[in-house]
Amino acid sequence: MYIVPSYTLAIVFTLITMLCWGSWANTQKLAGKTWRFELFYWDYVIGILFLSLVSAFLLGSFGENGRGFIDDLKQAEWNNLSNAFLGGVIFNLANILLVAAIAIAGMSVAFPVGIGIALVFGVLINYIAAPYGDAVILFSGIGLIAIAIILDAVAYKKLTKIKKKVSTKGIILSICAGVLMALFYRFVASSMSTDFVNPAFGKLTPYTAVFIFAIGILASNFIFNTVFMKKPVEGEPVTYKQYFSGGLKVHSTGVLGGIIWCVGMSLNIIAAGKAGYAISYGLGQGATLIAALWGVFIWKEFKDAPKGTNLLLALMFVCFVIGLGLVVYAGT
């Protein structure tokens, strides 16, 4: 299987993760013009499963080191398969809540709040479980990112003063999503061998872990997303009949969103072999910055904001960039 050979390349992979995780939601915004997020989400999940399979049979099955995908599945112990699966279940609930928050509150709000919380607590959880890098520098970077999250919240508060309706529900959904999102990665990481070149017996390789993780997402989606379809956070209930009546364009948009996200997940997991789980996860969740850039400059979610908001947003971006730089430096 393919294994990342250096810390530098691992950082490049985590930066690609950041781009992927911060950009996939644009497909929801595009589909959302005519397509409810509950319907979009089924295609998104299919996209994740598809990419995990492609990755497992290609990158996960060729090369001199490690263990091939099929052989890895055959030798995997049940508790490790269960952990990867449970990680998918937890992620799915968190992500559905995040997608719902995006639909209500917008990308430039839902991502900084939800993923920002996930970043802070997720890095802490993963560092305690598998310490790697300079803790002072790492958490100084995380602290700056937390300040950026607060600045974004203040900017949003200024914006809501001129809006007719304040989406408190969107903020609450973002917070709940963030807390759950902080937990899923540790379950996936605990299912994997710490040595990717000579993986321990019973443990999973990164490619197998991502595939089982994707199975957990799909299986739980029949419960979580069905509930959201029947009891939506906003609007009228939707049905499976509506889903199957959708055209190729709208379905392919959702699948593309899932593929983009899973490219990021796959690269992030294999990068953890050189960067460590805390740094790899933390940089990937810098997706908040990318999503905020999309929300501010492409979707114009702050176009009607009052004077002073742009300064807050600029400070937010500066704090994010410096914070992410410290996270990178912590592992050198």
Give the DSSP per-residue string, 40-96: HHHHHHHHHHHHHHHHHHTTTT-SSSS--HHHHHHH--HHHHHHHHHHHHHHHHHHH
Q: What is the amino acid identity at position 105?
A: A
- pLDDT tens-digit map of 298-329: 878 777 778 888 899 899 889 988 998 999 89
pLDDT at 248: 95
Q: 270 pLDDT exceeds 70? A: yes
Q: Does residue 312 lie within any of the structural domains?
A: no
Torsions phi, psi of 192, nearest 5?
Answer: -100, 155
Residue 27 domain boundaries: 7-117+164-300
DSSP strand E in 181-239: where?
none
Asked if pLDDT for residue 50 goes beyond 60, the answer is yes
* CA 34 to each of CA 30, 98, 149, 278, 300: distance values in angstroms, whole numbers, following the listed order: 8, 19, 31, 38, 19
**Domain for residue 215, yes or no?**
yes
Tell me the average pLDDT across 289-294: 80
Average pLDDT value for residue range 264-275: 96
For range 151-176, the mean pLDDT: 73
In three-state secondary structure terms, 28 is: helix
Helix H or strand E segment including 153: helix 135-160
DSSP classification of residue 192: B
Question: Following DSSP, what letter does each residue of 262-288 receive, concatenated?
Answer: HHHHHHHHHHHHHH-HHHHHHHHTTHH
Query: Per the domain annotation, does 307 fall within a domain?
Result: no
Strand partners, 150: none
pLDDT above 70 for 62: yes
How many of the other CB atoms lie within 10 Å of CB of 124? Answer: 16
Q: Report if residue 94 sits inside a domain.
A: yes
- 138 falls within a domain: no
Arithmetic mean of pLDDT, 208-212: 98
Indicate the number of domains in the chain: 1
Please tell me the predicted confidence (pLDDT) of residue 303. Answer: 79
The pLDDT of residue 295 is above 80: no
Average pLDDT taken over every residue of the chain: 90
Q: Is residue 326 part of a domain?
A: no
Q: pLDDT class for 236, splitting at 50, 70, 90?
A: very high
Q: Are the C-beta atoms of 154 and 312 separated by less than 8 Å?
A: yes
Of residues 58, 75, 68, 53, the one with CA closest to residue 217: 53
Average pLDDT, integer, range 240-254: 95
pLDDT grade, residue 160 (50/70/90)? low
pLDDT at 165 over 70: no
Sign of the torsion angle spanned by Cα atoms 317, 176, 106, 308 = negative
Residue 178, pLDDT score: 93
3-state secondary structure of 204: strand
Amino acid at 270: I
- Would you say residue 246 lies in a domain? yes
Q: How far apart are CA 37 and CA 78, in angstroms?
A: 34
- Other beta carbons within 10 angstroms of residue 7's beta carbon come to 16
| CB proximity list for 157: less than 8 A, separation 6 or greater | none
Question: By 3-state DSSP, what share of the chain in percent is helix, strand and coil, each rounded to 5?
Answer: 75, 0, 25
Using the CB atoms, write b or e for 136-154: b if 16+ within 10 Å.
Answer: ebbbbbbebbbbbbebbbb
24 within domain boundaries: yes
Does 75 score more than 90 pLDDT? yes
Interval 114-139: pLDDT, tens: 877 898 899 999 999 999 999 999 99
pLDDT value of residue 166: 47
- Amino acid identity, position 64: E
